[in-house]
Structure formats: C-alpha cells, structure tokens
A and B are shown apart, each in its own frame.
Chain A
Amino acid sequence: MAQPPVLLETQALTRSFGGLTAVDNLDFVVRKDEIVSLIGPNGAGKSTVFNLISGIYPPTAGRILFKGVNIAGLKPDRVERQGIARTFQTLRLFANMTVLENVLVGFHSRLKSNVIEDLIRPPWVARAERDAVEEARQLLRMLGQRLYTQQEFRAADLAYADRRLLELARAMASQPDLLMLDEPTAGMNPSEAADFMELIRRVHDRGFTILLIEHNLSVVMGVSQRITVLDYGLKISEGTPDEVRRDERVIEAYLGRKAATA
C-alpha cells in the first residue's frame, strides 16, 4: 500500500539558545491524515520544535519543509497562511473577547476582505462574515454543547477544560492542513484527558492531520499512529506506539529519570 504524501518534514532542524542546544539535528516526518505525537520528558525540546515550525523564532540550522516548501524562518502569520495552526501549552486565548469572537479571529486568514471592504461592507463581505459566524457556531457545537451555549461568554470566564476546547476550536477555524496541539491535556485530570483524546480522534476523523506534543506517554498511546521521542533535544526513538513503548532508551528516559526523582 502506498504511503500517504509527506505533509511536514524537518531536516537536521537545530536551535540553540546560547550554549544550550534545545533541538539537535532533528529529522521527522508527518504524513497527510496522520496523528503523530512528539513526546519526551520536560525540557526535551518539544515546545521549541513547535515554536520553530510556527515561526516564533527561526532555526539555527536545518530546514522545515511543509508541502515541499521550506518555511523555516517565515513569520508566524505567513506560516499560518501556509496552512498550519496551533494551540498553546499555556492557554493563550483572547481573554477579553467572547468565545465566538475568539473562534472568528481564527477565521482571519480565510476572510479575504481588505480594510476598505471591511468598512464599506459590500454584500459579499457581509455574507462571508455571516457564513463565518455560522461556521464558528457549528464548530463550537461539534466540540461540545457547553461551549456552544456559552458562545457569548468572555473567554476568561470559561471553565478550564472549556478554555482548552476553545483553543482547539480557534485553531481549527482556519481549516489548517496541519493542526499542532501543544500538550492539550495539560492540567486535566485523567478522565478529562481521556475525553479530550477521544475528541481529538473525532477531529482527526473530520480530515485534520494532527501533530501532538505530549508529556504523558500513556495519553497519546491510544490515538497516535506514530510517535517521535525527544530527550535533551535529540531524537531517541521513533515508531508505532508499541515499538516506542518497548524501546529501552524511552523507558530509560522516562523511568530512569522518574525513579531518580521519586
């Protein structure tokens, strides 16, 4: 069976901060329609990889190919317009805007009106905005009735798990080719985390390719098709969940450290 096409590929991706090499010569691949997880202990460099891909800072060396084009060093808004959206480990919602408005900001790159059209609001702009509102509502409904009924709430007033959901909705709004989720279950209890993973599976079924960062190995076991394991910025293992679970280096990186700090 032919493999689906490569969507994202990093080649020798490296980022140093002063003397610290946070990401070291990383090669990994995400294929279309996959759920791939990037896991590793705290400080392994997972979030740095996300920040490099999304353009928060440029790599020290290496390339990031997205749909065959090198996007390394592009500004975040350009990266987003290539079709990559993300969430944040520490929630970064627009706290003073409503739930619905947060999702609508996610539509920004799809609403093609310019400033002049925005002011004059010709019929096609008004219609595009109405459609966006309708689509945003459907998105909220798909992610849960609670979020849907709270669409006029300020984002800051939502319960924690709902804010996580809202970040997901906002990232999905641009219909990205690649959805990057940075520890989406951080701060959730095990049952909330399990529910959230089930939701991610449903999002995937809707045609989203997903790259997931997780600190907790067991959370991603069930949903990931492939897993890349980082430790101290280096890739130490890669493969299916079963392969990774049995890999001695992974066990050592996790358990060895856990045993030492316990």
Chain B
Amino acid sequence: MTLDVLISGVVLGSLYAIVALGYTMVYGIIELINFAHGDVFTLGAFISIPVIQAIISQNGSTPTLGQSIFAIGAAMVVAALCCAVVGVVIERVAYRRLRNAPRLAPLITAIGVSLIMENAMAQWQGGLPVFYPTALQPSSYTILGTTLTNTQILVILGALAMMLGLDMFVNRTTIGKAMRAVAQDREAASMMGINVNFIISLTFFVGSALAGAGAVLYGIDLGSLGYDSGFTLGLFAFTAAVLGGIGNIRGAMIGGLIIGILQEYVSGLGNGVGTEWYDTAIFSVLVLILVFRPSGILGTNTAEKV
C-alpha cells in the first residue's frame, strides 16, 4: 500500500467515522440501528449548499482563504444545527413510544423514516446528483514525497476536531458521564436523578449534529451528491461501527478509518477493476465480523445488560 492510498483512505475513513459515531451512540443508548441516520447526513449536505452559495459567489472567481473558512464554518454550523433538530424530532416521533416495544418495531419505523426522507429529498433536489458548490480554491502541498490537497487536510483536521471534542464531552463532562450511565443501565441512571428522555434526545442531537457537520466536509471533498448518497455512506459507516464494536465510541472512530483505508486499497487493485469490488469487500467485513466477532474490535464479549 502506498502512502497515497493510505492518505486518501484516512480522508474517506474520517468521514465514515463521523457518521459511524451517530450509529454507535444511538445504538449504545437505546440499542437501535437508526437507519435514518445516513439520510440525516444527506439532508445536512443539501442544507449547507445555499449557505456556501450565499457566502461565496459561484461565478468562477477565486474565494479568499478568509471567505472559505467563513463559508465552511457557517455551513457546518447551520447543517449541524438543522440535522440535530431533525434527529431529535425523529426520535421523539418515531422511536420514543416504541422504546419498550419488541426491537423489530423501532427498526421498522427507522427504515420507514429513512425511506420518507430519501423520497422527500428526491422530490426536493431531483433524482440526479447535484454539484456541491466550490468552497475552497484547490491547492496541494508536497509532504514527505506525497501530495496532500487542502481539501484532504480540511477533512482530516475537521473530523479529528469533532472526534476529540466528542471524546472529551463523553468522558470528561458531567452530562457525558450521565450519557454513559444511561447507556449502561437506564433504570439505575434514572434513579441517580438523570432525566433519561433528555439524555436520549441529547444523544440524537449530538450524533445528528456530527453527521450534519461531516456532510459539509463530504460535499467539499467529493464535489457532488445525490438524494441517496447518505444511504450508501450510512451502510459503510454502520459497517465501521460494527467493526469497531457497536456502542463503542472509540471503536467507531477506528472502524471508520479501517473501512476507509480498505475501500481505497481495494479500489487501487487490478488497474481500476477494484473500484467495482470495494462494496463486496466492505460488506464481507460486515458479515465476517458479525459471524466471528460480533462484539467488534473494542467491544467486550461479556453481556453488559442484566
């Protein structure tokens, strides 16, 4: 594997990791695979488009670095907040009343919400991929004999900041401790005075906000997206979450990076034939992990729940 492949794998993997965090946080706290999460991601990307267009004129002129930073920052904040609200509403409407129902019930509503969002976005944005506006004047740097674009640097730094921020939030703050307590024993946590419904809403808020902010990085990196982009990406990110150990935040980060690197590595095989095979490779990982090590890389094998 060349350094180029590794770098582009890390870039892609960072995006998967950000989305995987949303899956794993929600699973950790209510044991639900939130299939709508990938579509919340897509929504974030679409919402951010007019924000960037409003700040940077798309008539071919070169944005200054200050404009780029402001546009990207504003787009990430707007997308994060909108997605966060949508995520909280989805939980409130489609999952909360089913919290004590058989597990299949909320899974079905999750798929339902996903289909609703995809079809609504197809109506809104059309069935064909749309271009993501230019937010950053492309440039590249040569470091250690390999080429790094400024977009790649942006994605890696942006994702890293989000992951570090989340890690500190969950492990250091009082509310983060409450989140972990709810994830481990909801009833005992409520008896410590923790408002479980609030913590669950907050989990959806944070996970969806990460997806929204990550979607801006995705749009800038890939340059276009369709109404179903988040669905495919969501499946890869879900695989990453399972690989790292579903419910485990650091596991999702590691899993995301591994899946991203795997995708870029397989894509580079056989003079481009590999690009037709990376889905197969990634979903093979999903099946193998579920069959042979369902707890993932960082998960423990012992059941935590009573």
Please report A residues at the B interface, Cβ cutoff 8 Å. 54, 56, 75-77, 79-81, 85-86, 88, 90, 92-97, 101, 104-109, 111, 113, 115, 118-119, 121, 129, 170, 174
Given A88-B188, A119-B169, 14 further pairs, Cβ under 8 A: A80-B190, A85-B191, A94-B189, A97-B184, A101-B180, A104-B177, A105-B177, A108-B181, A108-B192, A108-B193, A109-B192, A115-B202, A129-B174, A174-B192
Task: Indicate whether B276 reaches chain A with its CB closer than 8 angstroms.
Answer: no
Which residues from chain B contact A75 at a C-beta distance below 8 Å?
Answer: 190
User: Does A109 contact B184, Cβ atoms closer than 8 Å?
Assistant: no
Q: Given the complex, which residues of A lie within 8 Å of B98, measured CB to CB?
A: none
B195 within 8 A of A: yes
**Contact (Cβ within 8 A) A76 B169:** no
Query: Is B180 touching A97 in the complex (CB atoms < 8 A)?
Result: yes
24 contacts between A and B (CB under 8 A): A76-B191, A77-B190, A77-B194, A80-B191, A80-B192, A80-B193, A85-B191, A88-B188, A94-B181, A96-B180, A97-B184, A101-B177, A104-B174, A107-B174, A108-B174, A108-B181, A108-B192, A109-B194, A115-B202, A118-B174, A118-B176, A129-B174, A170-B192, A174-B193
In the complex, the answer to whether A54 meets B191 with C-beta atoms within 8 Å is yes
**B169 x A90 contact (CB < 8 A):** no
B-side interface size class: 20 to 34
Output the least CB separation between A144 and chain B (Å).
21
Which of A81, A90, A104 contacts B193 (CB under 8 A)?
A81
With A77-B194, A106-B192 as contacts: A94 and B184 at CB distance below 8 Å: yes
Interface SS, B side: helix
Chain B: minimal CB distance from A235 (Å): 25
What's the Cα separation between A67 and B296 when bound, in Å? 49
Residue of B nearest to A128 (CB): B174
* Cα(A101)–Cα(B177), bound, Å: 7
CA distance A119 to B192 in the complex (A): 21
Q: A77-B195, A113-B174, A118-B173 are in contact. Are A94 and B190 (CB under 8 A)?
A: no
Once the chains bind, are A95 and B192 in contact (CB under 8 Å)?
no
B196 within 8 A of A: yes
Q: Are B184 and A95 in contact (CB under 8 A)?
A: yes
Closest chain A residue, CB of each to CB of B188? A92
Give A174 Cβ to nearest chain B Cβ, in Å.
6
User: With a CB–CB cut-off of 8 A, which chain A residues contact B306?
Assistant: 90, 92
B178 at interface by CB-CB < 8 Å: yes
- What residues of B have a CB within 8 angstroms of the CB of A106 in the complex? 192
Q: Which of A56, A79, A88, A108 contacts B194 (CB 8 A)?
A: A108
A77 and B174 contact, Cβ closer than 8 Å, known pairs A54-B191, A56-B187, A92-B187: no
In order of increasing CB-CB distance, the 9 nearest A-B pairs are A109-B193, A80-B193, A92-B188, A76-B190, A118-B173, A94-B184, A105-B181, A118-B175, A76-B191
Contact A96 B304 (CB under 8 A): yes
Docked CA distance A105–B190 (Å): 10
Cα-based distance from A105 to B185 in the complex (angstroms): 12
Check B191–A86 contact: CB distance below 8 A: yes
Partner of A105, one of B192, B195, B196, B202: B192
Chain A residues near B169 (CB-CB < 8 A)? 118-119
What distance in Å separates the Cβ of B163 from its nearest Cβ neighbour in chain A?
16
Report A134 CB to chain B, min CB distance, Å. Answer: 15
Interface residues of B in 177-233 (CB under 8 A from A): 177-178, 180-181, 184-185, 187-196, 202
